Structure 1
Amino acid sequence: MDVHEARSLFRELTERDGRVDPGELDAIWAVLPTVRPEEILGAWKGGEFDTGHPLNGMLEKAGWYGKTFHSPHDAKPLMCRNEAGELYSNTELGQGEASLWTVEFRGESTATMVYDGRPVFDHFKWVDEDTLLGIMNGKGVPAEGPFYYFYLERAPESGAAPGAGLGAGEGA
């Protein structure tokens, strides 16, 4: 699979009703470009893939909207909407907030969000200039998973220029 096929399959999987095979997501992940923390600053709207992971559906119940990265040392992993529809950082659910680091995962160094209060890592790779594929990993998770797979799309209010993250020739 090349990066163009991966992007096409990614889009298909985001629209699929029902379960998604983690193997398909792993195949996509394998060919996507890595990310640097400073490339993803801004606000991101999130979604998940239903792979049967125990976390599937839990974030939606909490009102999860996405993530906001103000700087590498000021990351808000669980931006949620309250009953009035206002965004807030759910520090209770996340047991704090997070920071962005470059961490090796599956033999590649890529932007990774490290939670302050939990032994959890969210690894990111570019799908396209405004979309990230994420894999949640953490202490106690075997090398083969199961992992929680999600995606982030640059939110209109992020303030970052569209396409700010991919190098020349890597865009859609």
Structure 2
Amino acid sequence: MGADPAALAAELAGGVSTFRALAIFDSLPAVPLKDMAGRWVGSEVPTGHVLDGLLGAYGWHGKCFYADNEADPLIFARGNAMFHVKPSLVPLSLAVKFPRLVRQRAIASVGRWLLPLLSTRRPQARLHVVDYRGVPTATMIYDAQPINDHFRRLDGDTLLGAMDLRGVPEPFFFLLRREHA
């Protein structure tokens, strides 16, 4: 791949079509499991997906991967507090059916205050290598939701993720940047 990773990250962050996001994703190298460990700050890649803007509206911070291939898929922030949300308690089907409703400022504001009630201290996903779009790469498989997050490397500290949610035809894209202590 000859493109500058910083330029690609900026392009993605500014919003692209699903077609363009897939083209970039397909051009990137796979991520080995050993490179996933650590805490990652997430940001959405706007593509017109039904879930665009949802994570940000609720204060999504990112994800955390552990050396034993377990993972916390949903870390949210409220002020200085961070909490790990249990995905099985998130009404995802409601978000897919009524995306405008759940993104409304008033509802998102209430949701941000309620999210700590959905928190957990146990990892809620596992990492495995899965063949996605013809390339075996690190994939986070949620324990209790029909979701697989597939990863490709933009650079040593930046990943492009493609969330594959059963029943939704296009992937939801996001960027992860390694959080340094």
What TM-score results when the alignment is normalised by the length of structure 2? Answer: 0.75
Moved over 6 A (4+): none
Q: Could you give the per-residue CA deviations for residues 126-160 of structure 1, whole angstroms, max 9, x where no partner exists?
A: 0001000000003224xxx3110101000013xxx
Does residue 151 (structure 1) correspond to residue 152 (structure 2)? The answer is: no
Letter of the structure 2 residue corresponding to residue 12 of structure 1: A
CA RMSD, Structure 1 to Structure 2 (Å): 2.0
Deviation at 1:39, TM superposition (A): 1.1
Change (3 A) 1:140 1:154: same
Does residue 88 (structure 1) correspond to residue 115 (structure 2)? The answer is: no
Deviation at 1:45, TM superposition (A): 0.3
Letter of the structure 2 residue corresponding to residue 5 of structure 1: A
List alignment gaps of at least 5 residues for structure 2: 93-117
Map 1:12-161; keep pairs closer than 5 Å.
12-16=10-14, 19-82=15-78, 84-91=79-86, 92-93=89-90, 97-141=124-168, 145-157=169-181
Letter of the structure 1 residue corresponding to residue 76 of structure 2: C
CA–CA distance in 2 between the matches of 1:26 and 1:151?
Answer: 13
Contact kept in structure 2, 1:102 and 1:110, CA below 8 Å: yes
Matched residues, percent identical? 34
Residue 5 (structure 1) aligned to one of 3, 15, 20? 3
Query: Which structure has the higher relative contact order (CA within 8 Å, separation 6+)?
Result: 2
Q: Could you give the per-residue CA deviations for residues 110-131 of structure 1, whole angstroms, max 9, x where no partner exists?
A: 0000001101000001000100
Secondary structure, in 3 states, of the residue corresponding to 2:72? strand
**Equivalent residue pairs, number:** 149
Deviation at 1:4, TM superposition (A): 2.7
Instruction: Name whichever structure is richer in helix by fraction.
Output: 2
